[in-house]
Structure 1
Amino acid sequence: MIRFIKRNIVFFISIIIAVILIAYGSLFNDSLNAVSSVVMTFVSDKFGWLYLLFIFFLCVFITWLAFSKYGNIKLGADDSKPEYSNFSWYAMLFCGGTGIGLVFWSIAEPLSHYIAPPNPIEPGTIEAANFSIRTCFLHWGITQWVCFAIVGLGLAYFQFRKNKRGQISDLLTPLVGEKATKGIFGKVIDVFSVVVSFAGVATSLGLGVSQISGGLNFLWNVPNQKETWFVIIFVITCIFLASAVSGVNKGIKFLSRINTYLAFILLFLGFMIGPTTMIFDTFVNGVGQHIQNFIGDVLMINPYGDNTWIMNWRVFYFAWFIAWTPFVGMFIARISKGRTIREFIIGVVIVPTIFTIIWLSVFGTIALNASANWNLMELKDIIALPETAVFIIFSQYPLVKVMSVLVIVLLAIFFITSADSATYSLSLMTSEGNPNPPIFKKIIWAIIEALLAFVLLSVGSIKPLQTISIAASLPFLFIMIAMCPALLIELKKESINKKN
């Protein structure tokens, strides 16, 4: 028994922390909100510059790595082959990573930046529209995927190429030694990675539930209340639990392919009902604006004035992506064995970024084009409830029912695939990196994720947990900084050994 507990110490400590968070969040939600807000404000004000600088560095580092002499190194033995076809791989990357957030914010965020851009941009102007589109490209494109890529690449390289455990702590072995990563230091890193992960997952699932419920209310007047949330979470949890238990090859792969097809259908319909010429113009102009302003936008911070917008949006997003990296990176690594480093980076960073830019060109244009039907104050009221904004905007176009139902179905399956991949990753992280974690751990983590999302929705807000996960991203930011030289040390070592 003692040996079992010792071998699963990361699992038991993580479960205890999760239970404490659920209890504290339900009983003392206001207190949790206050504390988390103070911590988040401190992190943003004191370290906002570091998040911006690190994300820019990652973009440069990952790009260099793809085209360096290390690009041909396999994530596995030299003769290993990819386990999944390119389409299945891309589908699982998209659905296991960013899908639910992209659908949730694809209408509300362009409108938000349009009516409330940072100074000195005037709200509701052409300049605000241009800023809105390129900002959405930045937030949901390369800056997000380089975060997932560095962790996923490190895990896949060390696990499949160097035969290490699939643990976050193992990525630091070249810097601190194997004794440290397998000792208390490593356990602390792994527990922290798990806590950051389930907090981030629960908030995203909460967002998905709120939008599904908002859509059902908008379409069929289904009450947007606790009972509805419980039914949604219960049904979807049962589905993703069955998918998680069946394994990656059956559950996630099958659902990801379905959802990718549905996403293409929704994208095509959006393109057809929207202002087609304006969508092309938005795409071309947005890409140009994005490339032209990329360095300035990533590193944008005002040392002499107000940084409220930057902290509430840019730093907030960068911190949120970093909070997601442990479990998304873990999942990406699992499905990427047999790829070369160059192929991995192109598949994980470039392909999703291109799809995201196309997606936001269509739905960002649909949102901004429809905004002419309301004044700025009315638009503020619409985006105050982002979970229903997409349905309100669709109501200004043909096929509103079809589009809205598609969004709800997409969100439901994204909910399943995101929770499914998170359940797998959390189980793996709490099983010493075992690529086939025990079923009982998958069941426990599935229940915890669902319970945490429901409890926080029921008490009125998932904001505290979201803020906690983002605040907790600061220590993980330093871990990610350390991953870069650690990976480089190992790659250089392999290159030298090959020469010899």
Structure 2
Amino acid sequence: MTENNNNDKSNNKRVNESEETSPPLKLGVVFWGAAIIILVVAIIAMIIPSQVQMASETVYSFISDKFSWFFLLVVFGFGVFLLFLAISPYGRIKLGEDDSEPEFSFWSWIGMLFSSGLGVGLVFYGVAEPMEHFVKSPFLGGPVENAEAARIAMGYTYFHWGISQWSIFGVAGLTIGYFQYRKKRDGLVSTSLEPLLGFNYSTKARKGLDILAIIATVTGMATSVGLGILQMDGGLNIAYGIPNGPMTQVILTILMTVLFIISTTTGLKKGMKFLSTTNMVLAMFLTVFVMFFGPFTFIMESIVVGMGDYITNFVGYSLRLQPYSGQHWVQDWTVFYWAWVIAWSPFIGSFVARVSRGRTIREYVMGILIVPPILSFLWVGALGGSAIYSDLFNNTNIGEIVLDDQTRALFALLNTMPFELITSAIAILLIFLFLVTSADSATFIVSGMSIGNTENPPIKLKVLWGVILGVLTIALILAGGLTSLQAASLLAGLPFAIVLIMMIFSVSRSLRREPNRALVRRRHSHNAKEEHKQF
């Protein structure tokens, strides 16, 4: 025991000495280009918030109206591509060397995927989305609030938090992980396009792609942090009577920024593993609590029916638009979700690649497309289902509260159950930890993108990006709240969707050159059959 402690102390000493003797941090064009653009936007939003809000609404309407078809086709294609890889011989290829092993256990891996993925968004929309669809149905209009609307609401919410969303993360993570850990490249988005654009393609183009990836990541992250801050603000008000508004939101953002900067300095493996495990435990506790004190049979039946509706309507929902009616429901919900996730995908992709090292493509795809969506279904089924039951059969007004303010949805549900003060505190803590976990991961990845070292970026740079993220979040909250956050995601998601398409072609070209034993056996078997036919 003493020997181990001495080893730990000596290791820590060496780490500290290396930090002290490390050369001064050199920041290049990628960092300054991305940081200046982000900070300029943040400063403008703080100086003229009303004008920025109007501009955000214009941008949001334009992109969602003109490019909704593009987002739907792209995301549907991502899912098809990943499933093809999983069932093909390419699925046996590892994200790493052939003899490499996963660094994290299966459940630690899943916890990290879930926590750094869309934990914040799921907590925000887990009650708000099904309740809003219940009151204003995607097909029936509104106000409705009947059994048919309830069923549609659950099925559509499952669709938004299912395979499609995770396929976006999957494409980014697969491409980055494949080139970084199997091909021994640097893990940058620009590097992953080398098989497509050539290994010596323009340096300016490389830097431009990496700047775009950083801007998209920080913008998507700011959207998620902003949603979480708004929800905590609403929760503190409805549960404890704390005045809500910009002042509380700014204080929460500053507090969160300080804590995730502290977290990110502890290192990815130590800090992220602890926070991810804590997130999973708290989320599981709330789910079990709601199931125990809520309508358990109704919840389980709604989950089963909702999953059936999700499977039945998957293709239809994936490609659904409303050109004949002129309505914008799909743009307001599905298109926003896909753009938001695409904007966040450079970070999630890099992080997922980092924690998935050593897993086969098949294991990676099946893990990311099955387990996180199922966990999302359980959360939505338990909390969203309980809220619908409460309004349907107990004559509560959760739906009206959600229409007035989505940030209060989760806490309006908890107020209908026992121990509401305790469960509200746990919910606020869960949101806060999800924010810290996500921001922790994002600053780690963005710092690596900034200097081309995604394995071990300097702590000083992570702190710097943490501050920039906090400033942008505050600016977007002050400049219109949810509308500005949504517009920022759409604006960042559109160009990066094109980059993701290019990444698919790039990794496909490289996989075809892969000397994989499974492919060799397949070709040998095919040739043998052809020879047998000839003779």
TM-score bracket for the superposition, by shorter chain length: over 0.9
Distance in 2, matches of 1:346 and 1:357, equals 16
Q: TM-score if structure 2 supplies the norm length?
A: 0.89
Q: Residue in 2 aligned with 1:466?
A: 486
Q: Residue in 2 aligned with 1:303?
A: 323
Instruction: Indicate the SS of the match to 2:454.
Output: coil
Q: Residue in 1 aligned with 2:199?
A: 178
Query: Which residue, out of 125, 141, 144, partners 1:105?
Result: 125
Q: Residue in 2 aligned with 1:314?
A: 334
CA RMSD of aligned residues (A): 2.1
Q: Is 2:85 aligned against 1:65?
A: yes
Query: Residue 465 and residue 289 in structure 1: after superposition, are their counterparts in 2 closer, same or farther (change >3 A)?
Result: closer
1:31 Cα shift?
2.2
Render the CA deviation track for 1:370-393: whole Å, top value 9, x for unaligned.
1235588x8334332111121112
Render the CA deviation track for 1:447-473: whole Å, top value 9, x for unaligned.
111122223334552522430221221
Render the CA deviation track for 1:107-151: whole Å, top value 9, x for unaligned.
111011111123445622222111110111111111110000100
Distance in 2, matches of 1:32 and 1:312, equals 20
Distance in 2, matches of 1:488 and 1:367, equals 44
1:11 Cα shift?
0.6
Distance in 1, matches of 2:489 and 2:31, equals 19
Query: Which residue, out of 366, 370, 374, partners 1:346?
Result: 366
Render the CA deviation track for 1:314-366: whole Å, top value 9, x for unaligned.
11111111111111111111111111111111222211011111111111211
Query: Which residue, out of 434, 449, 460, partners 2:454?
Result: 434
1:479 Cα shift?
1.0
1:232 Cα shift?
2.2
Percent of pairs identical after alignment?
A: 38
Q: Residue in 2 aligned with 1:13?
A: 33
Contact 1:121–1:127 (CA under 8 A) maintained in structure 2: no
Q: Residue in 2 aligned with 1:255?
A: 275
Larger Rg computed on CA atoms: 2
Q: Residue in 2 aligned with 1:153?
A: 174
1:5 Cα shift?
9.7
Distance in 2, matches of 1:225 and 1:283, equals 35
Distance in 1, matches of 2:471 and 2:285, equals 32
- Once structures 1 and 2 are overlaid, which stretch shifts more, 217-226 or 159-168? 217-226
Query: Which residue, out of 55, 61, 75, partners 1:41?
Result: 61
Q: Residue in 2 aligned with 1:77?
A: 97
Q: Residue in 2 aligned with 1:139?
A: 160
1:397 Cα shift?
2.0
Report matched runs for 1:304-383 at 5 Å. Answer: 304-372=324-392, 373-374=394-395, 379-383=399-403
Contact 2:220–2:340 (CA under 8 A) maintained in structure 1: yes
Distance in 2, matches of 1:392 and 1:398, equals 12
1:69 counterpart letter in structure 2 = P
Contact 1:96–1:418 (CA under 8 A) maintained in structure 2: yes
Contact 2:347–2:445 (CA under 8 A) maintained in structure 1: yes
Q: Is 2:183 aligned against 1:162?
A: yes
1:245 Cα shift?
1.1
- Once structures 1 and 2 are overlaid, which stretch shifts more, 161-170 or 228-237? 228-237
Distance in 1, matches of 2:382 and 2:401, equals 23
Q: Is 2:70 aligned against 1:26?
A: no
Distance in 1, matches of 2:229 and 2:159, equals 26
Instruction: Indicate the SS of the match to 2:99.
Output: coil
2:360 counterpart letter in structure 1 = T
List alignment gaps of at least 5 residues for structure 1. Answer: none
List alignment gaps of at least 5 residues for structure 2. Answer: 1-23, 524-535
Q: Residue in 1 aligned with 2:471?
A: 451
1:220 Cα shift?
2.1
Q: TM-score if structure 1 supplies the norm length?
A: 0.95
Query: Which residue, out of 303, 314, 321, partners 1:294?
Result: 314
Report matched runs for 1:470-481 at 5 Å. Answer: 470-481=490-501
Query: Residue 496 and residue 93 in structure 1: after superposition, are their counterparts in 2 closer, same or farther (change >3 A)?
Result: closer
Contact 1:107–1:389 (CA under 8 A) maintained in structure 2: yes
Q: Residue in 1 aligned with 2:219?
A: 199
Q: Residue in 2 aligned with 1:220?
A: 240
Distance in 1, matches of 2:365 and 2:130, equals 28
1:203 Cα shift?
1.9
Q: Residue in 1 aligned with 2:147?
A: 126
Distance in 2, matches of 1:15 and 1:141, equals 33
Distance in 2, matches of 1:227 and 1:124, equals 35
